[in-house]
Structure 1
Amino acid sequence: MEKKELRKGYTTGTHTVASFRSCLDTLLVTNEASITKTNKIDNDDLDVTKGCEIVVNLDFSSKDFLLNPTFQKAHYFESGTNSLEIFAGLGVGVVTKKGLKIQPPYPAINPAPLNAIKEYFDIKTKDMDNLHLKCCVSVTNGQEIAKQTANSKVGVLEGISILGTTGIVKPVSSSAYIDSVKIEIEFAIQNGYNPIYFTLGNSAFKVACEKSNEEGIVEIGNFVYDSINLATTLKAKEVIFLCGIGKMTKVYQGFKNTHNRFGIIDFTQLQLDIKKNLNYEVDIETTLTVKGISQELEKVGLLDAFYEMITKRANEQIKKWFKDSNVKAIILEQKEVLGW
């Protein structure tokens, strides 16, 4: 079968910068307010902002802008005697908590697109004097899109964030999700959460909520390796990784991503490991699920030992990936054994 070439896309930041350029070019020619709309180019990544409409308004006054209702201060740039103010319109979030790249109470537009906008403004207005412009960045239905993100948890209210470092969203890496995980880890570290909880699945999230509030919990999806890599790189003091025994078995077997499209549990190897560590041979002919194996081991009094084996091996695997990692894996079933 011929391998499909996956599509790349562009970040919300790249689209916003392109729209701003178009607006500024038009305004400088016509000397009138301008507006540019663009739809975020689709790609083969997992990204809730795919296809969203980004709207940039540029005017001499902000009185007609439809702004995010959250209190905000505009990003303000000066270039000689000229100035530019950038506001969050409807659908673009406003930062309300510390710990992100943008401080409160400013529009959630990341430094990379902000710098690109400032640079273009500098270039195009260098021969002008006393030009004072107002810019409003909006996203159609951005408030609804934001409900599918972690924005409200980290204090970005009433809209999405305008992101983008390299400008290109690579497919398959699910970079948008991983970027979100990175933001949440940074936020938790900056706000003093220790330990930070990584959860995989709704049950794990509910358990973590018994120990921490949502700001200290990061839902990592299936991106185990990528998330632990981020925690290690960002020097999180302690991370507790919670998931069920099925997914944790995949971790100990070396799966960096626990989604089924990356492979299934090797039950023959699991059978051999149980024989070696617990001196018992499970029947994998009649049950090819970890839950079924757990039930069999419970009948012979080896369930707790099985939990301990899976947890120990998973933690060993994490150390193989990152020897300096401060991530500790705990299976949900084992939390009862540990007296949680």
Structure 2
Amino acid sequence: MSLAERSEYDLAVLALNGLRRGRTTGSCATAAVKAALNLLLAGERCEQVKVSLPDGVHYLLVPIQKVDWLAADVVRAEVLKDGGDDPDNTHGATIFAEVRRNDARQLRFFAGRGVGTATRPGLRVAVGEPAINPVPRQMMRMAVAEVLDEALAEQADAGFDLSIGCEDGEAIARKTFNPRLGIVGGISILGTSGIVEPMSMATWIASIEVYVRVALGGGASSVAYLPGKIGREYARDVLGLPERCSVQIANFLGDSLDFTQKALEEEGRTLDVLWLAGHPGKLAKVLDGWWDTHSGKSKMAMAGVARVAAELGYPAPLVQEIENANTVEAAMEILKSEPGAQAFWMEIERRIGALAHARVPAVKRLEVRLFDLAGNSLGADA
């Protein structure tokens, strides 16, 4: 869908929990790229730009804090990161883009000051690449295409270097998992929807109880809890659950299970099946007793995964490699070539399920399904 056909995503409309949504670092960086290009190619200083969102339907109107020439062939634009009511480490940070033409006739991404570089495998970007995730890169490519299409169609094959940075990004990154992940030099440019949903809040925990009660309402026999968007298609297409019976619980797995037990006790009934579906980077933290999976309140999941591998008799060097992996996604790559990898993840699912089930005795059966970042099943097939 072209930009002209899209409708504005209105951030003034509050999320269901009554909190204000915000803009991801990916949306901010994309807006900065677009503003810089408008000055570089058309001599136009924009006070705000329209950023096409990955949903294919909406655009986001983003204010530009500053845009100016750095040199005869380089423009820098800045955007103030507004994360809404979510307590994001990058809220209030200045995200900037420095844009210049290149002779390669390609769009190339660089880590500017305050944006990190990947130094270990298992991340969404290759080793040596700037920590700009795939969806923000896609958004920036679209923004460049839109500026070229609207203003300079004859330069449609032009190449540009996009250097994305963040003021004080190196200090901000020390408050995140980036150093542990092997991302050095600053923050990551993130986002899968372009919109920050205000989930990591005490108020959001209270609203989860409402969502849980709605899911259980009407005598539902099966519900699914999802830490994020991974697993949503499984709940809808494979399990056939209506939308109200799939609850996005963010980091609050323990609270969600407690709310479930409380609601079922009050109704004096049991639930046939509770599904937990998502990425093991979140759900496998339960193996080490972490029920709030927020990065600031829990450790990463590799130690628990490695411990299970050791208990199942995997060779000690492999177990050590899993434990030293910078992400669970990297651990998946390590295990991918091992015989019995699917059985291994099924055992992880079983153990997570047993621990979670102990917290909700009013549920007859609790099933766990784990998926990689691309949505591929790791363990049980159905």
1:26 Cα deviation from its structure 2 partner: 0.6
Hey, what's the Cα distance between the residues in 1 that align with 2:121 and 2:105? 30
The reply on whether 1:317 has 2:340 as its aligned counterpart is no
| Structure 2 equivalent of residue 238 of structure 1 | 348
CA contact (8 A) 2:40 2:73 kept: yes
The reply to whether residue 137 of structure 1 matches residue 126 of structure 2 is no
Aligned twin of 2:191: 164
- Report the TM-score when normalising by structure 1: 0.51
Alignment counterpart, residue 11 of structure 1, candidates 7, 24, 42: 24
Kept after mapping to 2: 8 A contact 1:7/1:44: yes
The runs of 5 or more residues in structure 1 that have no matched partner are 62-77, 219-234, 243-311, 328-340
1:1-340 to structure 2, matched below 5 A, reads: 5-30=18-43, 32-60=73-101, 82-125=105-148, 126-128=153-155, 131-173=158-200, 197=288, 199=290, 213=323, 215=325, 238=348, 315-317=357-359, 320=363, 323-325=366-368
SS in 1 for 2:27: helix
* Kept after mapping to 2: 8 A contact 1:93/1:157: yes
Amino acid at match of 1:45: D
The alignment covers a number of residue pairs equal to: 216
Question: How far did 1:41 drift?
Answer: 1.0
Q: Do the aligned partners of residues 205 and 164 (structure 1) sit closer, same or farther apart at CA in structure 2, a change above 3 Å counting?
A: closer
Provide Cα deviations, 1:205-230, integer angstroms capped at 9, x if missing partner.
Answer: 59x69957464788xxxxxxxxxxxx
Q: What is the SS of the residue equivalent to 2:155? A: coil
- 1:102-127 deviations in whole A, cap 9, x for unaligned? 22221111111111111222333342
Offset at 1:15? 0.5
CA contact (8 A) 1:15 1:40 kept: yes
Residues 1:325 and 1:54: Cα distance change in structure 2 (over 3 Å): same
CA RMSD of aligned residues (A): 4.6
Cα separation, partners in 2 of 1:22 and 1:188, compared to 1, 3 Å: same
> Structure 2 length as normaliser, TM-score?
0.46
The 1-side partners of 2:285 and 2:359 are apart by: 23
Aligned letter for 1:317?
R
What is the rounded CA distance, in whole Å, between the counterparts of 2:90 and 2:160 in structure 1?
28
Cα deviation code 1:295-324 (max 9, x no counterpart): xxxxxxxxxxxxxxxxx8853336849722
- 1:67-110 C-alpha deviation (Å, 9 max, x unpaired): xxxxxxxxxxx9xx832211001211111222222222211111
* Residue of structure 2 in register with 1:270 after alignment: none
Q: Distance in 1 between matches of 2:106 and 2:327?
A: 40
After superposition, the Cα gap between the structure-2 partners of 1:318 and 1:89, relative to the gap in structure 1 and judged at 3 Å, is farther
For residues 18 and 41 of structure 1, what CA distance do their matches in structure 2 show? Answer: 13
Render the CA deviation track for 1:19-69: whole Å, top value 9, x for unaligned. 1000011100247421111110142112111111111101236xxxxxxxx
Q: Deviations over 1:190-217 (max 9, x none)?
A: xxx99974636999859x6995746478
Cα deviation, 1:163-188, whole Å, max 9, x if unaligned, reads 1111111224459xx7798xx96679
Say whether the 8 Å CA contact 2:83–2:196 is kept in structure 1.
Answer: no
Report the AA paired with residue 238 of structure 1.
I
Q: Structure 2: how far apart are the matches of 1:216 and 1:198?
A: 20
Q: Aligned in 2, Cα 1:95/1:316: closer, same or farther, shift over 3 Å?
A: same
User: How many Å separate the matches in 1 of 2:36 and 2:327?
Assistant: 40
Once residues 160 and 86 of structure 1 are traced to their aligned partners in structure 2, the CA distance between those partners, rounded to angstroms, is 15
Which amino acid is 1:199 matched to?
A: W
Aligned-partner residue type, residue 144 of structure 2: F
Query: Is the CA contact 2:77–2:98 (under 8 Å) kept in the aligned structure 1?
Result: yes
CA–CA distance in 1 between the matches of 2:155 and 2:31? 22
**TM-superposition CA deviations, 1:212-257 (whole Å, max 9, x none):** 7464788xxxxxxxxxxxxxxxx67517999xxxxxxxxxxxxxxx
What's the % identity of the aligned pairs?
A: 25
Q: CA deviation at 1:7?
A: 1.5
CA distance in 1 between counterparts of 2:145 and 2:183 reads 29
Change (3 A) 1:203 1:161: closer
